[in-house]
Chains A and B, each alone.
Chain A
Amino acid sequence: MTVTNTRQIQYKDALIESLTQEMQRDPTVFVMGEDIAGGAGRAHLGITEAWGGPFGLTKGLIQQFGPSRVRDTPISEGGFLGTAIGAALTGFRPVIDLMYMDFVGVCFDQLISNAAKIRYMMGGQAKVPLTIFTRFGAGTGNAAQHSSIYYGILSHIPGLKVVVPSDPYTLKGLLLSAIRDDDPVIVCNDKKLIKMSGAVPDHPYTLPIGESRIPLEGQDLTLVGIGYTTQLCLEAAQTLQSLGVKPEVVDLLSLSPLDKETVLQSVRKTNRLVIVDEDTPRCGIATDIAAIVVDEAFDFLDAPIKRVTAPHTPVPYSKPLEDHYLPSSEKIVRITKELLNRL
Chain B
Amino acid sequence: MELSNQTILWLYKTMLTTRCFEERLIEEASKGKTRGSIHPSVGQEAVPAGVCAHLAMSDYISSTHRGHGHAIAKGVDVNEMMAEIFGKSTGICKGKGGSVHIADFSKGMLGTIGIVGAGVPLAVGAALSSTLRQNDSVSIAFFGDGAANQGILHESMNLASIWKLPVVFVCENNQYADATPVEYATSATNISDRAAGYNMPGWTIDGMNVLAVYDAAGVAIGRARAGQGPSLLECKTYRYYGHFFGDNPLTYRLKEEQEKYREQDPILQFENDMQLSYPKCFASRKRIREEVTTSIEKAIEFAYSSPYGPITDLYDDVYVNYAGLETL
Residues of A participating in the B interface, judged by any CB pair closer than 8 Å: 34-35, 38-42, 45, 47, 50-51, 72-79, 102-103, 105-106, 140-146, 281-282, 307-314, 316-321, 324-325, 331, 335
A47, B35: Cβ atoms under 8 Å?
A: no
Distance from B181 Cβ to chain A, minimum over Cβ atoms (Å): 6
- B324 near A74 with CB under 8 A, answer no
Distance in Å: Cβ of A195 to nearest Cβ of chain B: 15
**B210, CB-defined interface residue at 8 Å:** no
Write out, one digit per residue, whether chain B residues 136-180 have a CB within 8 A of any chain A CB (1) or not (0): 000000000011011110000000000000000000000001111
B163 to chain A, nearest CB (A): 23
Q: Are B101 and A314 in contact (CB under 8 A)?
A: no
Per the bound structure, the CA–CA distance linking A75 and B243 in Å amounts to 14
Give chain B nearest CB distance to A245 CB in angstroms.
20
Binds A, one of B2-10, B67-75, B111-119, B272-280: B111-119
User: Contact between B308 and A318 (Cβ–Cβ < 8 Å)?
Assistant: yes
Closest to B88 in A: A318
Say yes or no for B1: interface residue by CB 8 A criterion.
no
For B253, list chain A residues within 8 Å (CB): 39, 47
Q: List 23 A-B contacts (CB under 8 A).
A: A34-B180, A38-B180, A39-B180, A39-B181, A51-B178, A74-B186, A106-B117, A106-B150, A141-B35, A141-B36, A143-B101, A145-B113, A145-B114, A281-B327, A309-B327, A311-B314, A311-B327, A312-B325, A313-B315, A313-B318, A320-B309, A320-B311, A321-B314
- Taking a contact as CB atoms under 8 Å apart, the answer to whether B327 and A41 are in contact is no
Contact between B115 and A103 (Cβ–Cβ < 8 Å)? yes
Q: How large is the interface on B (under 10, 10 to 19, 20 to 34, 35 or more residues)?
A: 35 or more
Interface members, chain B 181-199 (any A CB < 8 Å): 181, 183-186
Q: Are B101 and A313 in contact (CB under 8 A)?
A: no
Closest to A142 in B: B36
Q: How distant is B230 from chain A, measured CB to nearest CB, in Å?
A: 22
Chain B residues whose CB sits within 8 angstroms of the CB of A313 once the complex forms: 314-315, 318, 324
Bound Cα distance from A144 to B186, whole angstroms:
29
A41/B181 in contact, CB under 8 A: yes
With A146-B114, A311-B315, A331-B328 known as contacts, the answer to whether A140 contacts B181 (CB < 8 A) is no
Residues from 295 to 328 in B contacting A, C-beta threshold 8 Å: 308-309, 311, 313-315, 318, 324-328
Is A72's CB under 8 angstroms from B95's CB?
no
| A105 x B115 contact (CB < 8 A) | yes
Determine chain B's interface SS by DSSP, over half rule: loop
Given known pairs A38-B252, A50-B251, A321-B95, the reply for A312 and B181 (CB within 8 Å) is no
Report if B97 contacts A (CB, 8 A).
Answer: yes
Q: Residues of B at under 8 Å CB distance from A?
A: 34-37, 87-89, 94-98, 100-101, 113-118, 146-147, 149-152, 177-181, 183-186, 251-254, 308-309, 311, 313-315, 318, 324-328
Most buried by B among A34, A72, A313: A313
A146 to chain B, nearest CB (A): 6
CB distance from A53 to the nearest CB of B (A): 10
Q: Do the beta carbons of A41 and B184 come within 8 Å of each other? A: yes
Say yes or no: A324 contacts B97, CB within 8 Å: no
Known A38-B179, A41-B184: A144·B101 in contact at CB below 8 Å: yes
Return the contact of B183 from the options A41, A75, A281 (Cβ within 8 A): A41
* Chain A proximity of B216: nearest CB distance (Å): 25
| Complex: A72 Cα to B186 Cα, angstroms | 12
Besides A312-B325, A318-B88, 19 new A-B residue pairs in contact (Cβ under 8 A), listed by A number: A35-B178, A41-B181, A42-B184, A47-B253, A51-B252, A74-B149, A74-B185, A77-B150, A106-B150, A144-B96, A144-B97, A145-B101, A146-B37, A282-B325, A308-B328, A317-B96, A320-B311, A321-B95, A321-B314
Cross-interface CB contact of B147 among A41, A75, A282, cutoff 8 Å:
A75
CA distance A106 to B117 in the complex (A): 10
Q: In angstroms, how far is the closest chain A Cβ from the Cβ of B187?
A: 9
Would A75 and B149 count as touching, CB distance under 8 A? yes
Q: For the complex, give the distance between the alpha carbons of A282 and B308 in Å.
A: 28
Alpha-carbon distance A197/B116, docked complex (angstroms): 32
B253 to chain A, nearest CB (A): 8
Identify the closest chain B residue to A38 (Cβ).
B179
A78–chain B nearest beta-carbon distance, Å: 5
